[in-house]
Structure 1
Amino acid sequence: MSFLNQLKTQAKALQTQRTEEDSVFEERVNATEKACRTILPYFQDLARQLSVIEPPSPAFSLDGKTPWPAMKLVDFRVDARRKRVKDQEVIDYVGMGWRVVPQHGKPGQDTVSVNFPIEMQRVESRLMMGPVKHERHEVRHPEKSVLLEVRYTYFTETRGSVTATADHETGQVHFRLLNTDGFEVLNAPWPAARINQEMLDELAKRIVGQPSRFT
């Protein structure tokens, strides 16, 4: 075989490989976009219903010892953003957020005190995660100036959210759940092809505190 024919064979093989790769990529993009277009109207409808229902929230506590009052989920809002993938406009992410407020009355003030570094780290991470409006006060020994404890005065109000971020190149949707089971962040990647009404129903159950298979 001449050198030119060798180059032709090599070029043909590469062309076939690239065509196959483009086809796989296109399938992933389409599957991911379909999933996002399933999520968006579901979130929009869910937000409307839950804004009326105002379901009770899970239990919240900054230090694991001092419980917040009975809380509820209110003011559900949905947002979506778009991006371009290879000159094609697609959904970048879909998000739904809500406020967590007392079931009765307005948010009030409370205080927790900690004196161990690991407890301090846990409380401060939850305050930032909320975010929770608060003030930090260090209590020191009057003579030795040694730190005795840290007091956090905070308002009993926080936020929760679910964000579904599309990864069109891998054909996945990455879910990030904030404060759906107390102060926590849960990250859960899902294959786009598996996202359907049943799966989103399980997610909705988790948001309102019912037994759920969503992980």
Structure 2
Amino acid sequence: MLEIENGIYDKGFSTIACIDEVGRGCLFGDVVSCAIIMPKGLIIDGVKDSKKLTSKKREFLYDIILERCVAYGIGRVNSMEVDRINIKEATRLSMKLAVENLKDKNNNRIIPDHLLIDAEKVYIDNISQTSIIKGDEISHGIACASIIAKVYRDNLCLEWDKQYPNYSLKKNKGYGTKAHIQALKTLGKTPLHRNTFLKKILEG
């Protein structure tokens, strides 16, 4: 899973930030992105696309990845901003924020010289970037970013579930499950739901 990264290093780049997001298709809450810089040549056993891992395995790998990484950053864009600028732009913004929040273990900001992104473009003019379709399946660094973003957002969902216990957020993580949609129709929306995602559901 290092072929893509190695190809970028071969072009003369030295600090690659790999980026992925989670929560793009949710009805509720923030879209969250992670930018992460992994040591050159490092492979962590078991790392792959976060969607193909159990929650227990993700949580196990989360700690290992954060321990071994050079730097990481999280970018969050809330539901109000998703409604204001649309989900695609919100995703790109969350990725930009993640890059801007890249810090090492000493809390020093790290500026990468290349971005490797899962199927997106980030609005940062002064850093070159490569967009890879299904990057979380073929790039070790993007897979690491996908795991960090997923566990981070899942933990947010646990907190949101305490605020809004009737929407099963702990279980559905904000996605439009049958139970979630039924709760919306029965109870209405919360301030953290994405209004632009609910029109057809609440009008149906």
More helix by share: 2
TM-score with structure 1 setting the length: 0.22
Rg bigger for which structure? 1
TM-score with structure 2 setting the length: 0.23
More strand by share: 1
Bigger RCO of structures 1 and 2 (CA < 8 A, at least 6 apart) = 2
